[in-house]
Amino acid sequence: MTLPAGHPLSDGLTATSPLVRAMRGDRPDTRPVWFMRQAGRSLPEYRAAREGTEMLDACLTPDLAAEITLQPVRRHGVDAAVYFSDIVVPVLLSGVGVRIAPGRGPVIDEPVRTAADVLKLRPVDPSAFAPIREAVGIVVAELGSTPLIAFGGAPYTLASYLVEGGPSKDQLRTRALMVSDPHTWATLLNWCADVTGAFLRAQVEAGASVAQLFDSWMGTLSRRDYQRRVLPHSRRAFDALRGTDVPRVHFGLGTGEVLDLLPLTGADVIGVDWRLPLDAAVERLGTPLPIQGNIDPAYLFAPWDLLAAHARDVMQRGEAAPAHVVNLGHGVPPETDPDVLTRLVALVHEER
């Protein structure tokens, strides 16, 4: 797969943006910054736009998903948009019954727990992604030279929702399936990789210039289990982007023990949560890759001077990497004052 004609990246529209340059290891004049979960509940314009619409309906309504994706770019002046969606959207588009329970998260109608359950999962029909492609088209037309980041959940996190039936604290049933029935596990994770890979590919083909794979829950795995039973499937998800040269970002929570393994997924950029200082993360990573992160979201609720000092410290430690994309160490908390984020973007852009 090569990028279609008119794609913002191959056309050179976004290729010289600070974000794409940094993700390719360059050091642009201003350090790029965006925020995970920047499109969402922290913004009053998001709450107004979403009013009366269910989460998954919003994700599948092109005009609305595009509008929500664009809102934080207009407001904060961040260096990228990230596609507004939910990691279960491709699961839904594959025919699995799922809804988002407010205040709880995704709930699966029939959890997937046995070999028979896994066999019932069907491959996703690429045409099901039509609303996604349409929304991405609207977004990139407005963004111009600002890149759009495609969004997808990593196979382990996706599988956790399917097996647990919803959010869970330590993914016990999921890990039980993993250690009890490796064959069924591999089949399930391959399915998840293909589904999320197709989701990322649809976004990239329609105009996204970067792809990020989120593995929110990998921190509950031992290093050995991650390496043997999860990592190969994350690589398979990224492999769906073969032939395109969009930078691939991999982010997970609690990855301190496995940072050196993450480049084996095929990631070009490694996102780091708030737990580990970036200079330590760069050292553990070993491979000289650009790094993304890792302002502690707790500081968003601190007096400005403390947040500013913390952000500067993060930027200084980020110097240890070949290149640094500033971000939070986790998603924007819904209760964040959006003005604080706008001010933070200005600080990052002024810093050098």
Residues in the chain: 352
Q: Determine how β-strand 248-252 pairs with β-strand 81-82.
A: unpaired
In the complex, least distance from residue 113 CB atom to a second copy, rounded to whole angstroms: 10
Q: Which two tokens stand for residue 158?
A: 């996706």
Indicate whether 178 belongs to the interface with a second copy (CB under 8 A).
yes
Q: Which two tokens stand for residue 12?
A: 């050179």
Question: CA separation (Å) from 2 to 127, 213, 292?
Answer: 19, 20, 26
In the complex, least distance from residue 308 CB atom to a second copy, rounded to whole angstroms: 13
In the complex, least distance from residue 298 CB atom to a second copy, rounded to whole angstroms: 4
Q: Identity (one letter) of the amino acid at 322?
A: P
Indicate whether 275 belongs to the interface with a second copy (CB under 8 A).
yes
Indicate whether 183 belongs to the interface with a second copy (CB under 8 A).
no
In the complex, least distance from residue 220 CB atom to a second copy, rounded to whole angstroms: 8
Of 38-46, 48-56, 177-185, 340-348, which segment contacts a second copy by CB under 8 A?
177-185
Indicate whether 303 belongs to the interface with a second copy (CB under 8 A).
yes
Give DSSP secondary structure letters for 219-259. Answer: GGS-HHHHHHHTHHHHHHHHHTTTT----EEEEESS-TTTG
24 vs 173, which CB is nearer to a second copy?
173
59, 84 contact by CB (below 8 A): yes
Footprint of a second copy on residues 209-238 (CB under 8 A)?
A: 219-224
Beta strand residue intervals within 254-333, DSSP E:
269-271, 291-295, 324-328
106, 157 contact by CB (below 8 A): no
Indicate whether 252 belongs to the interface with a second copy (CB under 8 A).
no
Q: Which two tokens stand for residue 62?
A: 């092109």
Indicate whether 310 belongs to the interface with a second copy (CB under 8 A).
yes
Question: Residues 166, 266, 322, 333: which binds a second copy (CB under 8 A)?
Answer: 333
Footprint of a second copy on residues 108-147 (CB under 8 A)?
A: none
Classify residue 95 by its DSSP letter.
T
In the complex, least distance from residue 176 CB atom to a second copy, rounded to whole angstroms: 4
Instruction: Count residues binding a second copy (CB under 8 A).
Output: 33
Q: Which helix (H) or strand (E) holds 152?
A: strand 148-153
Indicate whether 285 belongs to the interface with a second copy (CB under 8 A).
no
Indicate whether 343 belongs to the interface with a second copy (CB under 8 A).
no
In the complex, least distance from residue 67 CB atom to a second copy, rounded to whole angstroms: 28
In the complex, least distance from residue 25 CB atom to a second copy, rounded to whole angstroms: 27
Q: 52 φ, ψ to 5°?
A: 85, 0
State the Cα–Cα distance between residues 268 and 291, nearest whole angstrom. Answer: 9
Indicate whether 337 belongs to the interface with a second copy (CB under 8 A).
no
Question: Residues 106, 152, 297, 318: which binds a second copy (CB under 8 A)?
Answer: 297
Residue 60: exposed, middle, or buried by beta-carbon count in 10 A (0-12, 13-18, 19+)? buried
Indicate whether 284 belongs to the interface with a second copy (CB under 8 A).
no
Question: Residues 90, 299, 325, 328: which binds a second copy (CB under 8 A)?
Answer: 299
Of 25-33, 121-129, 139-147, 272-280, which segment contacts a second copy by CB under 8 A?
272-280
96 vs 178, which CB is nearer to a second copy?
178
Q: Determine how β-strand 98-101 pairs with β-strand 105-108.
A: antiparallel
Classify residue 281 by its DSSP letter.
H
State the Cα–Cα distance between residues 75 and 162, nearest whole angstrom. Answer: 35
Residues in the site for a second copy, rule: CB under 8 A? 170, 172-173, 175-176, 178-180, 219-224, 254, 256-257, 274-277, 296-303, 306, 310, 330, 333
